Structures are given as C-alpha cells and as structure tokens.
Structure 1
Amino acid sequence: MLVTELNTETLPAKERFAAWVELANQSFTPTWVHGDDETDFRASMRVLALGDVLVAALAHPSVRVHRTERQIRAFDPGAYVLNLLLEGSAVLRQHGREATLRAGQCALLSTSHPFQGQCRRSPDTVSLILRFPRTRLPQSAQHIDRLTAVTIDVRHGLGAVLTTWLTSLTARARELAPADAPTLAQTTLDLLTALLATLLRADADLSPEARRRALRARIGNHAERHLGDPGLTPQAIADAHHISLSHLHHLLAAEDTTPAAWIRRRRLERCRQDLANPHLRHLTIAAIGRRWGFASNAHFSRAFRSVYGTTPSDHRHTALTGNGMEGSPAGFSAGAAGGAPSPRPFRPGSSRPAGNRS
C-alpha cells in the first residue's frame, strides 16, 4: 500500500502550486488546473492507493480545472472520479450537465470525456476523491455515464455510510497494512455500487455478495450511531433494516460473531476509550458505562474484565498515568464504515513533508 502526502507549506512559495498540481494529475487524471493565487498556494493532499482504486483527502483554496479532448487522446485511464465535498462549494460540468455541490454532496466525472470544474474557497475547499476503473463496477458505463455531473446527496443512508468510510480510510491510512488493500478496495466499491444502483433503480446489477456487504455496512453504521441506547438489541437492529433476526445472525456469522456479542464489544471499546480520556476524568466509571448502554455497573465491570483482563478502574488508572493498555477486541467489520467518530481530513500544516511516501 502506498500513502503519498503533500503539504505545500513545507515548500518555497513559488514551488507550491506546481507541486500540488503535479501530484493531483499523477493521482487522478491529467487536467489543466488554475488557481486564484498561484504565487502562495497553501494546500494539502493525502492519497491512499488500494491497487487500482485511489482514495484521497484534499484541502485547498479556489481552483478551476478542465480536461480536454487532447488530454484524453494522449492518456485516458478509463476511470471514474467521485468528488465528495465536505466543506466549501463546487460546480462540475460534463455531458452538457452541471452539478452544483455543497457540503455533503458529491458527483461523478468520467476521465474519458471532457469536463470542467470550479471549487470555491470557504475559506478552503475540503473534499474526498475516489478514483476507480470503470471495469470494477458491475453496472455498464452507459448506465453510469447517466450519473456524471449529477448532484448526489450523501448526508443520509448509503451515502452517509460511504462518506464515513472514505473519511476513515484517509484519516487512518498509515494504520493500514498492505495485505488489507484488496479487501478495503472491494468494500469501497461495494458501497459505491450499492449507492449507484439505488440512484439508477438498478438493484439487479448488484451481485448477491455486493448486496450483502452493503447491508452489513448499513447495519454497522446504524448500530454505531445507537450504541449509547440501552434499547439497541439484535431485534431492534433487524427491525430497523426490515430483515429477520435469523437473517441478521446469518450476516454476522461470516464475521465469526453474533449480533449481541458485536454490540457488547463495540460498547466496551467505546468505554475503554472514554476511560483513557483525561478530558472525561470527571465522569464516574458507572456514568461511562451508562453512556454506552450498560445500565448495570456490575454487568459492565464483569464484561470489561472478561474482554480486557482488568477492571475498568485499573484500566483508567493505568491509562491516565501513561501506561495505556493496547489492543481492542475484534469486531464486526461493517463497523469500520461507521465506527468511532472519524478524524476530519487533514489541513495544511498537519501533514508530513512534501512527497513523503510509505
């Protein structure tokens, strides 16, 4: 796996814009890029390569981009580029359509056809980019091209799951192992495929496995958002997704866990994190347990000790005196799509030196 990071503030002012454009063109597809202030371009970019699937987080001032027929003839990766806006605003044009984006919206572009775009400063544009070969989707290019330069709302449902997943991937890129790349790439594309199929009303295009993975991701996201609710039970999760309890058990069997065990372990992990947080020192151990759905302090303490081999009070003492406990219990992989609150995309000044790779 290859992580490439660029913070232009580590470069001389006159080199910043050219370096940022070069990395963008290498990572996504060659385009012409113009900035409102190219003399002192303060921007950052982190690119995570998962084989032929690229995920990136960008923060930058206003830019205008366009891809021409001449550039397409010179080189075309035969890919789609998903532009997902977290802050700022943007306008993307292709195939005679125009998508006006605000935070929580995205749009697709095809590298095989000319396009234009403009990202406006607010004060920076913060976005996630996903580039992938069109051959990796089960839907035909003819179907997908109907969605280019179309505004897609990703604040709810599958779109929100995809947003959380991409944010987490880029934020935790350096924690991931090379062996994880194929699985991470496939999960990313499964989520995107499910979202596009919904938009196209073409669920028949989805393979049974892709539908199953997308459902697991939705379930994981739902459960993570309701961990603090004592009423979160396997039956409640099944009801929220209009499936039977036995179907839910079957979905989680592939993860070698049960719904109840997964809920308990995710709650314990949240408690473990809070106990080690010095800003939450004022909360009692019982209060932290209740915060994540443990109504009984005795039950919370027994469950915590059975998983971590220590009591909540001993863990808090050890963690807050500088010898924190490592590790966390294994869990349902769908939770990665909606796990603990994801760090925000990094901004200029928070990345490693220009061109740093690992």
Structure 2
Amino acid sequence: MLAETVFRTEDVAPPDRFEYWRQQVVRMIAPFEARTGHAADFRAELRVLPLGELALWTMEHPPMTALRSSRLVRASDDPELYILSLPFTDAASVVRSDGLGAYRPNDLVLQDSAQPNVLRVSTDDPGQRISGAWVTVPRRALPLPPDKVAGLKARRMPGDEGVGALLVQLLAGIAADTGVYRASDAPRLGVAALDLVSALLAHHLDVEDAVPPESRRRALTRRIRAFIHAHLHEPDLNPGVIAAAHHISVSYLHRLFEGEEETVAAWIRHQRLERARRELADPALAATPVHVIATRCGFTRAADFSRAFRGAYGLPPRDFRHGAAAVGSGL
C-alpha cells in the first residue's frame, strides 16, 4: 500500500479545528491566511500521498477563502513548487484573484508558490463540503523553462480531454485505491505523473521539444494505451489505425513497445480478453449473452473468441462465467 498521511479536523476540539487544518497545510506547503464562515466547527479532511518528488493532495472542506499575500511571500521561504489544481466538485464555485476569474468544470489550473494569490471556494449550499485535489511539483523537477511556464498561470487547461484527461485519470485512480500499489511503486507513479504534467504544460506552451525525449516517449505510450482502451470494441483496431491516430509511423509504434512484454497486437488482444473476463465475472451482466460481450470487446466471431479465451484462462467463456457465479454465491 502507498504511504499516505491523513489529517482530520474531527481529531481535535471544534474550536481548534480550522486553525489545526490551516497549520497542517502551512507546514507542508507554505504560509497562507484563511477565512471561513465555518471556523466554529470546521469539518475537513486532508490526504497527502508522496509520489517520489511529487505529492498528490486530496481534500474535503467547507466553503472558504485562502490568501497568500505578497507580504507572506516575501516573509517566508519559497518552497519552489508548482501547484496544479485538479477539477473540483461540480457544485463548487472557485474564483482566483490573478486574472483567471472563475474555474469551469474540469479545469486544470497552475499556480506558483512564489506568486501571491487569493482563492475563494464556495457552493450554493453553504453547508456542503467541497472536494478537490492538487499535485505539487518542484520547479527544479519540471523540464520546462520557468519563464515559459509563467505564461500558464492565468490560463485554464482542460482536464477532460487529451493529456489533461490522462493525468486526471491517473491521479484519481491512485487516490481512489492506494491498496493496489506497493510502497515501492510511489516513485514510478511520480515519474508517470511528472511525464504527463510536463506533456500537458508543453502542449499548452507549444514547446514540446523542451521536454526530454524519454519523458515524451513515456507520455506518448500512456496516451496510446488510453486510446487502445477506449477503442477495444472496434474490431479493426490495429497498429496501423493506432499509429495514424497519433501521427506516428507503424515502425515507431512498434519501437515504443519494444521494452514491453508484449507486442502492440498482443497487448490489444490481452486487453480485449481481460475486459471480457471482467464482464463475464460481473453479476450485473449475468443476463448479457456471451456473444454480445465478445462483440463489444472487439471479437467478431464467437468461435475465435471462445478459442482465445480458453487459451488464455483454461476454460470456455460460459464455463468461466458459471464458475464465477458459483464463487460469488458462495456455492
């Protein structure tokens, strides 16, 4: 399991909760001032997941305003961090003072710890808690010129398409289930996240060439894998289609997979079979015919699917489904 630190304001007396929460954030990032209408009983939770040089933060808290003034910036040591805010809950209204204005749903927004800012987070229901997340990246770890990155501080970047969506999916998946990872996975997950953050910012700055080739390669491979997952149901999905969609040659696509355990075609086949296996084991899909599951996993011939499934898992699809149902019912 990944190591994580969790702070809950319910661990202290109600009058101390707001200041307790603020001090935890100050201690781990930078000094800031805060105001809220819920200071008398501030119910909040903060989770911090170290991922190598990066850290993933998730939070739930009542409406509030956070202020990092010019005075505080000058008076405190600069932690030299970029802070990328991930999308807040749809109900939240988030307004910044640095010219960006209000966030839109699915916005990714970059902040610099060395710059003053005011962030107001509110909802139509003042009693509703707000969920959000951000990832902190040391400036020295980001392979992009700081003067270029400065141009992104007042720009929205979509988190529901392209590289932004991949980054959100990766970080949301990590936060949702830390138990599927080992502690030793944290640095590797941090590298994957840094590759995607770098690719995202470089794309919006139009300076992709500034990102190291190996980082670009890893980010491209992750985009290709996401594309394959999104198109597994298409029977004509093949290396040529994938290469064309990513504006690369088929030979380069194969080179990207040279370090992997499987070729591109074998990886597609494996992912199709794994999706079919999960759907056959899903009680909610028990009434869905096997051939329908096969078709939506990209297999056009039932016989081919049955043969491939048996070769991979040792049982015909129907027998596997019956066995999974028996295990689920405790028989």
Query: Quick check: TM above 0.5?
Result: yes
Please state how far the C-alpha of 1:19 moved relative to its aligned partner: 4.3
Please give the alpha-carbon distance, in whole angstroms, between the structure 1 residues aligned to 2:143 and 2:307: 47
Please state how far the C-alpha of 1:60 moved relative to its aligned partner: 2.8
Report 1 or 2 for greater relative contact order, CA contacts < 8 Å, sequence distance ≥ 6. 1
What is the aligned partner in structure 2 of residue 352 from structure 1?
A: none
Preserved CA contact (<8 Å) 1:63 1:120: yes
Offset from partner CA, 1:133-189 (integer Å, 9 cap, x none)? 000011122221221132222221111111111211211223211221222111111
Preserved CA contact (<8 Å) 1:55 1:128: yes
* Equivalences for residues 160-171 of structure 1 within 5 A: 160-171=165-176
Tell me: CA distance 1:169–1:99, structure 2 relative to 1, closer, same or farther (3 Å): farther
Please give the alpha-carbon distance, in whole angstroms, between the structure 1 residues aligned to 2:18 and 2:212: 43
Preserved CA contact (<8 Å) 2:281 2:325: yes
Amino acid at match of 1:232: L
2:241 equivalent to 1:236: yes
What is the aligned partner in structure 1 of residue 95 from structure 2?
A: 91
2:28 equivalent to 1:24: no
Structure 2 gap segments, 5+ residues each? none
Please state how far the C-alpha of 1:309 moved relative to its aligned partner: 2.8
Please give the alpha-carbon distance, in whole angstroms, between the structure 2 residues aligned to 1:10 and 1:283: 48
Tell me: CA distance 1:261–1:203, structure 2 relative to 1, closer, same or farther (3 Å): same
Preserved CA contact (<8 Å) 2:52 2:191: no
SS in 2 for 1:30: coil
What is the aligned partner in structure 2 of residue 119 from structure 1?
A: 121
From 159, 168, 187, give the equivalent of 2:164.
159
Deviates more, 1:182-191 or 1:169-178: 169-178
SS in 1 for 2:4: strand
What is the aligned partner in structure 1 of residue 259 from structure 2?
A: 254
Tell me: CA distance 1:284–1:119, structure 2 relative to 1, closer, same or farther (3 Å): same
SS in 1 for 2:100: strand
Please state how far the C-alpha of 1:124 moved relative to its aligned partner: 4.2
Tell me: CA distance 1:36–1:289, structure 2 relative to 1, closer, same or farther (3 Å): farther
Please give the alpha-carbon distance, in whole angstroms, between the structure 1 residues aligned to 2:305 and 2:290: 9
Preserved CA contact (<8 Å) 1:46 1:58: yes
2:142 equivalent to 1:141: no
Structure 1 gap segments, 5+ residues each? 325-358
Preserved CA contact (<8 Å) 1:81 1:129: yes
SS in 2 for 1:283: coil
Offset from partner CA, 1:190-211 (integer Å, 9 cap, x none)? 1111111111111221111111
What is the aligned partner in structure 2 of residue 55 from structure 1?
A: 56
What is the aligned partner in structure 2 of residue 222 from structure 1?
A: 227
* Equivalences for residues 195-206 of structure 1 within 5 A: 195-206=200-211
Please give the alpha-carbon distance, in whole angstroms, between the structure 1 residues aligned to 2:301 and 2:137: 48
State how many pairs are aligned. 322
SS in 2 for 1:181: helix
Please state how far the C-alpha of 1:308 moved relative to its aligned partner: 2.4
Deviates more, 1:126-135 or 1:293-302: 293-302
Preserved CA contact (<8 Å) 2:53 2:141: no
Preserved CA contact (<8 Å) 1:48 1:173: no
What is the aligned partner in structure 2 of residue 315 from structure 1?
A: 320
From 160, 181, 204, give the equivalent of 2:186.
181
Q: What TM-score does the superposition give when structure 1 sets the normalisation length?
A: 0.82
What is the aligned partner in structure 2 of residue 100 from structure 1?
A: 102
RMSD of aligned Cα (Å): 2.3
Please give the alpha-carbon distance, in whole angstroms, between the structure 2 residues aligned to 1:296 and 1:27: 56
What is the aligned partner in structure 1 of residue 217 from structure 2?
A: 212
Please give the alpha-carbon distance, in whole angstroms, between the structure 2 residues aligned to 1:2 and 1:305: 39
Preserved CA contact (<8 Å) 1:27 1:47: no
Please state how far the C-alpha of 1:30 moved relative to its aligned partner: 3.0
Please give the alpha-carbon distance, in whole angstroms, between the structure 2 residues aligned to 1:25 and 1:297: 59
Preserved CA contact (<8 Å) 1:27 1:54: no
Tell me: CA distance 1:297–1:103, structure 2 relative to 1, closer, same or farther (3 Å): same
Preserved CA contact (<8 Å) 1:6 1:45: yes
SS in 1 for 2:221: helix
Q: What TM-score does the superposition give when structure 2 sets the normalisation length?
A: 0.88
Please give the alpha-carbon distance, in whole angstroms, between the structure 2 residues aligned to 1:100 and 1:107: 11
Offset from partner CA, 1:108-154 (integer Å, 9 cap, x none)? 11112222111122644332200010000111222212211322222
Amino acid at match of 1:5: V
Preserved CA contact (<8 Å) 2:281 2:321: yes
Identity of aligned residues (%): 35
SS in 2 for 1:150: coil
Deviates more, 1:300-309 or 1:186-195: 300-309
Amino acid at match of 1:285: V
Deviates more, 1:16-25 or 1:123-132: 16-25
Amino acid at match of 1:139: L
2:277 equivalent to 1:277: no
